[in-house]
Structure 1
Amino acid sequence: MDYSTLKKGLAVSFAALVGATSIASAQEASSAKVFGGAGQYRTWSLGVNGGVLSPFAVIGGSNDFTNWKAELGYGISLRKQISHAFGLEGNLFRGKVSGDNKDANAAGTVNGISNFETDIAYATDLRGVVNIGSVDFLHRENSVNFFVTAGYGVVAYNPKVNGVDKKGTWGDDGDKDYIKEAYIPVGAGVKFKVSDRVSFNLGYTLHFIDSDNFDGVYAKGTTKDKFSYGYAGLEFSLGSKAKQNLDWANPVALMYDELKDPSLRQEVEALKNRVANVEKAVEDLKKDSDGDGVSDQFDKCPGTPAGTAVDGSGCPLPKAPEPTAVSNASGFENIQFDFNSSVLKTDSYPTLDKLSSILRENGGKVTLKGYASSEGTAAYNMKLSKDRANSVKTYLVNTGVNSSQVGIKAYGEANPIASNDTEEGRIQNRRVETARN
């Protein structure tokens, strides 16, 4: 067995796996997100194929016979799509490969050999499949994909030379029907999307065998036999019809669409304004007009004479002003969220800014109670309600509120304030409530 050949094939497969998986680490048909993960797609597919087997290869190379005959091959495949660009595929196929020497000379023989016919009992392999491009790369879903494959497999075959069948004479003990050898499959192809579930594939694969006996002729001790398979087939996507097939998803187009989304642009502009406000607040925090060591932002007694001892609020000692009493009643509107989202809406910023100002100026604590509507599982809604409460807390902390002043509680779909049987009611239930402690 030529282990160097096998090592090279395995290295190619491993490199493709590592490269494509790194791309995936950076991933419902109408709501798929660029970084939403593979769970939002269908990732399994089953294929059937048929085509022509030949001992010749399009890349050329040596061959023990001058002519080949078109013989039937057929097989099945099962693929797991790991990322937008990479999948692992198991293949199993059968068929027959044959050729002759009719053009070698007038006798049509070479060293007394006129023809061969090799029956493939089975050939099975595992391949890495890399999607390398699409002709419609700006669409959310591709309709034409090009791919390359490489892997490792085992073939069981029985070669017949000049019509002589040696079945039952192979193996170390001379009692086996078939010879078994390792091979490296390397191929390329194109697939066309027929429907959300079905694609039509055209492909060509070279099989480099780790022996020189595939055609029954030991021509040279340093050469290895090979055979090729040109095929057409159908591939069927498995899984929930509510999800898009990951094999056809296009992250470049998805990102393009998201960047063109008007609501996203509004969010970006709102974030820019918030950053500007935060920068201004930082500058205000640094300013200390009377030089008493307390910034103007928190100085309740501005203009104290130089050298005057002051407390933390900037007022002269020993009489410090009593802290202002704050009502425990919340008095704040609920913070609303969109369906299946924990992203703050811009119209909630004024309410949150008011709450932030009160907590920063007067101290005290607040508990954020997160809720969700009844769509989805109870466990998922519990996590979503916690994420919503955390989004509000993050906003408050980013505007200067101490993290210890803000607590969160998640209630999931419990304690609805409106009916979950209507969309109007569900909208009200997607909320975070504030409670002063």
Structure 2
Amino acid sequence: MASKKYLLLAGAVGLLTASTGFAQVQPAGYDALDSSKVSGKRLVQQNNFLNHQSNFPAKPRDMWELGLHGGLHMISGTIPAQPGFGGGISLRKALGHTFSLRAEYTGSIDKGQDYKLRPTFAANGNPWAATAAKNGGYIVPNYRSQNHQLSLDVLASLSNILFYRAEPKVNWYVLAGYSIVAADVDVDALNANGQGYDYSGINFTAKRSDIRKQLNDLRDKKYEQNAPSQGNRIAIGRHDDNQLIRHALDVGTGVAFKVSKRFNIGIEEKVTMPFDAYLDGYPGPGGSSKDFYSYTNVRFNFNLGNASKRVQPLYWINPLEYAYSELSNPRHMKLPTPVLPDADGDGVTDQFDREPNTPAGAPVDSHGVAKDTDGDGVPDYKDKQLITPTYCQPVDADGVGKCPDPECCKGKVAETSCATLVLPSVSFKGASTKVGRDQEAILASVASTLKANPSCNVLVTGHAGAKGKKGGVDLSSRRVDSVIDYLADKQGIDRGRFIKQNTPGESGTVDLAPAN
């Protein structure tokens, strides 16, 4: 039983603490109760949420992300690639907490140099014909490609939905999308005199690095001719009819590190696949080898927008943060009123009730014990004489006492109207001498009686302690003075109607009795 009581008490304290003590705690990433970040077209849903007519808040306005990127760009194809460079700009917008859409431009320059002899393949003209004629039909291919790429990619964030922390500091993502690529692919197939290269002085049995060095020393590096190609070309670039236009598929992955709510730095690997074998100017045997672009880049991303009207991009906000915050520190939830057992219905719960079976309607104190205002041993709900003076006690079973004649008036015949007056006693707790609210109610009834009987005087008796000890006499005297002061100053009773006396005894009361 005791354990249940403590459990119920803990539950009540917990609910009270959650609803008051933590009411000011707000989630760090996004406060669903903040309507200032909700667009006008979604305010109806937001208002329904705030009024508990919907379980879901409206999606907030969030910032756009502007990105600048640059890094290593290479073509993976038949011809071994040399490190190239790419760079560009992007604009990204969140579709939700997981998916976002990014438009991007990338410009790049790629180069490649082979190290072994290969047969020529003629397609839309053969720029290697002169070189092949000098080397028994073989060439050592090279290329330079200048590329312009427009992409539209969907990014899926993988690490912003967190169960054990509030805001993500790192955002892993994958991407897929579509690109259109314009590629200007040229080859260095003729020397400075416009003639084909003669490889007779090249030692093709040497190491690859040595072979490439010999070839670089041989070439003039002017890339004066269009590379072989298949499909359409348009007249853009240094030479007429040399621009390849290709559709492509993008895939990739990346990670971004939050520096602040306005700035993050990322690293990304993106692969673009145009499904074309001529991106490096050499198709390979039968053209079966499809080339693709590899772009390893560093990204500097800036969040754009007014922070007072927009939250961070949603892929930087943990959507569980608000839900967990609300569970821990409720600000919006409707909390039920704690229901604690009270068997006797006296307003004091059972775990605090010292008298758990008081009759219905019986007045009780803060501990659930039936009140006994005059301290005569009969509870108020049974007492037919609610306030019985101390000198009229003991009382009968109905709480009615029999009052003796006062000491001062024994043997005297009092006026019938005054002698029959029954005046209550005033109780003081501990060493108190101040008239409190409970005493004021009793003295107010005394004042009413005295006003109705203006010829009656009052004997005010205090109890000075055993054998009239000094401290007790002082305490008793001050209590008597407090009672007389209240009746005279607050209730307007003439001070000349009061007779003071102190008698031995340990009682904490001041007794009032007719003195006529």
TM range (shorter): 0.3 to 0.5
- Of the two, which has the highest radius of gyration? 2
Could you tell me the TM-score, scaled by structure 1's length?
A: 0.48
